Amino acid sequence: MKVFRLILFILHLGIFILLLGVLINSFVPPKVFPWFNLLSLGFPILISTYILLTLFWIISWKKRAFIFVLLGLLFFKPVIRWINFSSEKDQKANLKIVSLNMKGGKFGVDEIQDYIDRQNADVVFLQEPSDSNFKLKNLSGEKNIPVLAFYSKYKIVNHKNLFEGLENKDITAQCEVIDLNIRGKIYRCINVHLESFGIVKDMVKLNGNKEEDETKTKNVLKKLLSNFKNHQDQVEVIKKEIEDSPYPVFVVGDFNSVPNSYEYYKVSDNLKDVFVEVGRGSGTSFHDFKFPLRIDYIFTSKSIQPMSYKVDRSVQISDHFPVVSTFKLEN
C-alpha cells in the first residue's frame, strides 16, 4: 500500500508541474517553446486527474491533501475559463450578439438562417460562412473577405481586413475590423478566425497498428506545433489593433485555440472574457470531437457590461455550437 501511495504521490506532483506549464503560456510564446501551449489542450484531463488524486488524499486522511488543496487554488481561474457558475445580470440588456462558425453551411444553410433570424440579434459574427446567397432578416451584411461575414442592424462606418499583407498567411486565417455606430457611439468589432489546424477525426483515431499510430501522432503534433507558431503572429496583429483602438471593442470569433493557451492569454489581456463574467456550465463550443474544446469566444473592453452568455447546445447546425450573448450599453 505504501508503494502504491508513493506512486500516486509522484504522479500527483508530476501533474502539478504540467499544470504549472499551462500557466507559463501567459508569457512564453510558441516560437520560443510551443510545448507549453500543447499542455493547454490537455488541461481538462490534467485538472480532472489532479482533483481526483486530491480527493483520494482527503479520503485517506493524509496531511498532504491540505497542501494539494492549497496548490490547486492556483488553477481556479484556468478552470472557470472552461466551466463556470456565474449568474446572469438582472439588468435589461440592449444589445444581442450571435457568433457562429457555419462550416460552410454543410449542416444546412436554411436551418442556420432560420436559427439566427429567430434570435433577433443586433450583431452577427460568422466564420466559414456559406458561399450561397445568405441573407438575414432585418440585418445588413458584409462579406468582403474569405472565411468571414458580418451582419448588423447598425450602420457600418469603417471596414478593413486586418490580416491583409500578413506573411505566410493561410487562407483560413482571417480577421476583419468593423466600426459600428450604435445609437450615436462608435464600437469596434473584430471578427476573428485564426488559422485552422486542419485536423479531422481520422487523423487522431488510432487503430492499434503501432507504426501507423506513431506516424499519426507525429503528424498531428507537427501540425499543432506549427500552427501555434503561426497563431503567435496572428494574435500579435490582433493585440495591436485592440491596443490602438480609439473605441471600445468586441473581439469575437473562432480562435482555434483553447482557454489558457498563449493565444487566449494574449488576446484577452485587459479585456473581459464574457463567458467568465456571466457564463454558466461548460464553455465547450466545438462538438465534432468527443473532447471538451472551447475555441469560440467573445471578449470585450472593460467598459462594456455583459449581461448573459450562452453556448446554445439545443441545435446542431454546424460542428460548432452558436454562442449567444447580451450586453447593457450606456446610452
- What does each of the 331 residues of the chain score in pLDDT, given as a tens digit? 788 889 999 999 999 999 999 999 999 999 999 999 999 999 999 999 999 999 999 999 888 999 999 999 999 999 999 999 887 677 789 999 999 999 999 999 999 999 999 999 999 999 999 877 788 988 988 777 889 999 999 999 999 999 987 776 788 899 999 999 999 999 999 999 999 987 655 555 666 666 666 766 787 788 889 999 999 999 999 999 999 999 999 999 999 999 999 999 999 999 999 999 999 999 999 998 878 899 999 999 999 999 999 999 999 999 999 999 999 998 6
Radius of gyration of the chain (CA): 21
Residues 6+ apart with CB under 8 A from 138: 120, 153
What is the signed CA dihedral for 316, 101, 36, 69, rounded to 10 degrees?
A: -50
Distances (CA, A) of 140 to 39, 80, 144, 193, 263: 41, 35, 13, 21, 31
Secondary structure of residue 315 in the 3-state scheme: coil
Secondary structure of residue 293 in the 3-state scheme: strand
CB neighbourhood size of 87 (10 A): 8
What's the CA gap between 143 and 124, in Å, rounded?
A: 12
Q: Residue 142 in contact with residue 149, Cβ under 8 Å?
A: yes
pTM of the model: 0.93
For the stretch 32-37, contacts whose Cβ atoms lie closer than 8 Å and that sit 24 or more positions apart, written own/partner, are: 34/224, 34/225, 34/228, 34/229, 35/225, 36/262, 37/228, 37/261, 37/262, 37/263
Identify the residue whose cell numbers are 482571417.
Answer: 174
Q: Residue 42 in contact with residue 98, Cβ under 8 Å?
A: no
CB neighbourhood size of 94 (10 A): 15
Q: Residue 318 in contact with residue 103, Cβ under 8 Å?
A: yes
Distances (CA, A) of 178 to 125, 128, 169, 192, 307: 11, 17, 21, 11, 23
Identify the residue whose cell numbers are 506516424.
Answer: 215
Q: Using the 8-state DSSP alphabet, how is residue 92 labeled?
A: P
- Tell me the backbone φ, ψ of residue 294, rounded to 5 degrees: -100, 110
pLDDT of res. 206: 60
